[in-house]
Amino acid sequence: MKVPEGRLRSISHGGVSWTDIENPTQKEIEALAEKYPFHHLNLEDCLSRRQLTKLDKHEEYLFILLHFPSYDEGKQNVVTNQVSIFLGKDYLVTLHRDDFKPLIDLFQSCERDEHSHQAFMGKSSAHLLYCVIDKLVDELFPELDVLMSDLSDIEDKAFDESVSIAGKISNLRRQIGDLRRMVSSLRRTIPDVAISAQRFATEDLGPYFSDVKDHVERVWETLEQAKETVEIYVDTDFILSTEKTNNVLAILTIVFTLTIPASVVASIYGMNVNLPGGIQTGPWTFLGPYTMLVVLLSIALVPSLAMVYYFRKHGWM
């Protein structure tokens, strides 16, 4: 598989610059190391796609590593998008994959639209950071809409014994688990980011980041509700499946039990010994040539009928 080449773009406005790098490679990392006072460990983290959410505080900059989800329609699951961010006094550097559309669209909007240019970059680098995080957090809501739509689609099927939805429920549980893991890390990290980024701002960012935290909490509450709902579907599917299995086993048990008398009679008269009415002692004929057949069927049928009466009396049938 060919690794995509990195793409570095920069825009500046009002003394604030924003550098965005898609698919960072060693070449782009070296360029950043020459231009900015970034620690080499932070730069190495940008090349790895398996880093945990973190906030590293340095004297001249902040290094922030966040994870945001996106829905992969082909695989029908949630994938993780890692975003590495460097925040300094007059600059913001973002690094991510080239398929992370929300951040790419935001950067292109700043490039092409003068109003967005002024709104996002006209105050400070910390305000630009807020705009980026706010945009990415808002993109969580469409993901939730897809998830809740899938939950609604299987609601009726979850109570239908004739439909098996175990696979769909398992997939939804996986999606909810992935989303909860990423949103949980955002809940822990964003308040710290708000406090640490304030030193690079010319205005109070508290109200702005409070709005972001409120959105994250709303997402978390929705995920908690979705988790409870899917657990109900899991329990319902298990109960219905168990009940269906028990009904099948009950029927098979009754059928097997009713055939026990006939099996016992057939086993006895199948033995090569002298038995009343057997071939060795001479067959009974007082009811005609099929007397012995009638007698054996009666011996097998009477206990079976007695068991049917007993089962029905106790509500087992």
Q: What is the pLDDT of residues 125-148, one digit of tens each?
A: 999 999 999 999 998 888 888 888
In-domain check, residue 252 = no
Query: Is there a single domain that holds both residue 39 and residue 184?
Result: yes
> Does the structure show a pLDDT above 90 at 252?
no
Query: Is there a single domain that holds both residue 178 and residue 304?
Result: no
pLDDT value, residue 3: 41
pLDDT value, residue 296: 81
Query: Is there a single domain that holds both residue 225 and residue 277?
Result: no
In-domain check, residue 105 = yes
Structure tokens at 52: 């945990």
pLDDT value, residue 219: 93
When mean pLDDT is compared over 3-12, 34-43, 239-248, 298-307, the highest value belongs to 34-43
In-domain check, residue 2 = no
Of 243, 270, 288, the last residue of a domain is 243
SS3 150: helix
Of 195, 215, 243, the last residue of a domain is 243
Among the residues of the chain, which ranges form H helices? 26-35, 40-47, 101-112, 114-121, 125-138, 140-153, 155-158, 166-197, 206-258, 260-269, 291-313
Query: Is there a single domain that holds both residue 26 and residue 90?
Result: yes
Pairing of strands 54-57, 91-96: unpaired
232 and 169 Cβ atoms separated by less than 8 Å: no
Of 208, 243, 278, the last residue of a domain is 243
Query: Is there a single domain that holds both residue 237 and residue 279?
Result: no
Cβ atoms within 10 A of the Cβ of 271, count? 9
pLDDT value, residue 1: 38
Lowest mean pLDDT among 13-22, 78-87, 242-251, 275-284: 275-284
In-domain check, residue 196 = yes
Number of structural domains (the chain) is 2
Spatial CA neighbour of 125 closest among 194, 195, 200, 59: 200
Q: How far apart are CA 30 and CA 292, in angstroms?
A: 100
Structure tokens at 161: 């014994």
In-domain check, residue 142 = yes
The pTM of the full predicted model, rounded to 2 decimals, is 0.76
Residue count (the chain): 317
Q: How far apart are CA 297 and CA 281, in angstroms?
A: 19
> Does the structure show a pLDDT above 80 at 69?
yes
pLDDT value, residue 304: 85
> Does the structure show a pLDDT above 80 at 9?
yes
Domain that holds residue 39: 7-243
Give CA separation, 285 vs 186, 266, 274, 282, 300, in Å: 91, 20, 17, 9, 19
Query: Is there a single domain that holds both residue 222 and residue 263?
Result: no
CATH at 59: 3.30.460.20
Query: Is there a single domain that holds both residue 219 and residue 269?
Result: no
